[in-house]
Amino acid sequence: MTQLNVGLVQHACSDDLEANLEASMNGIRAAAEQGAQLVVLQELHRGLYFCQQEDVEQFDLAEPIPGPSTERLGALAKSLGVVIVSSLFERRAPGLYHNTAVVIERDGTIAGQYRKMHIPDDPGFYEKFYFTPGDMGFNPIETSVGKLGVLVCWDQWFPEAARLMAMAGAQLLIYPTAIGWSREDDPQEQGRQREAWMTVQRAHAVANGLPVISVNRIGHEPDPGGGSGIDFWGTSFAAGPQGELLYTATIDQPESTVVSLDMARSEEVRRIWPYLRDRRVDHYGDLTKLYRD
């Protein structure tokens, strides 16, 4: 497959789980109408970003995989003939939960899943309370549209994750995301944060010679504990294998946009910039250490 049409669906979320899922599904339908073969949804698209506070009642939001959401998304994928990357709060067992990306094949079956490996624990992003770190490693998921290197949000700051996906044959890096600003930060700091977020992911494209798709949510979500909440900055984007921006979404508007990727360009770029060839793996042993004291 030389050309791959990828749909990026960003939208706001509320405490109405059904309305959120419908918004995601309507975005998938709109992308399919524009010719999408693959559609990527934002992180935890079924609901509000509940990790602003530590609250055991939020575990009730988790669901099994396969489960209700994958059944509905699977039926939609089959009816539209598209591959879908969804992001769900997985209930694996009582007391064991993951932040999990699920790839649904165009025949409605589950092609594979990825459990978020890097788990943040910062003010407003208390994910370690909710999510057990992934145990499935960094392995691309085989689909009818190619080998997808699916990662999740906080993973996007770690070059090791992108590299391992590339080394396993991923043809595309995909990041469902939920990230935004605190209103306590001034506009200059907010701008630096968003630019850093885009830059590091574009750098993964450059360093690995692969296209990157990143899909983020929009809207203000209040902090249940009375804090300032989070203004999610949208800006879903697609970048080519040299980090070139192919599309950038708005900061605050729902969108369902299709971007056409030239999948043959990775081969061309890697012939000119053969980073994989020139890696000195015989001298990288210390990368397995936390820090070189």
Catalytic machinery residues: 43, 116, 153
The Cα–Cα gap between 192 and 209 comes to 25
| φ, ψ (nearest 5 deg) of residue 289 | -90, 150
The Cα–Cα gap between 192 and 275 comes to 28
Q: How many CB atoms lie under 10 A from the CB of residue 145?
A: 21
The Cα–Cα gap between 148 and 192 comes to 29
CB 145 within 8 A of CB 38: yes
CB 151 within 8 A of CB 175: yes
Maximum Cα interatomic distance, the chain, rounded to a whole number of Å: 56
CA dihedral 98, 104, 109, 115 (to 10 degrees): -20
Q: How many CB atoms lie under 10 A from the CB of residue 137?
A: 11
The single-letter DSSP state of residue 63 is B
Q: How many CB atoms lie under 10 A from the CB of residue 75?
A: 13
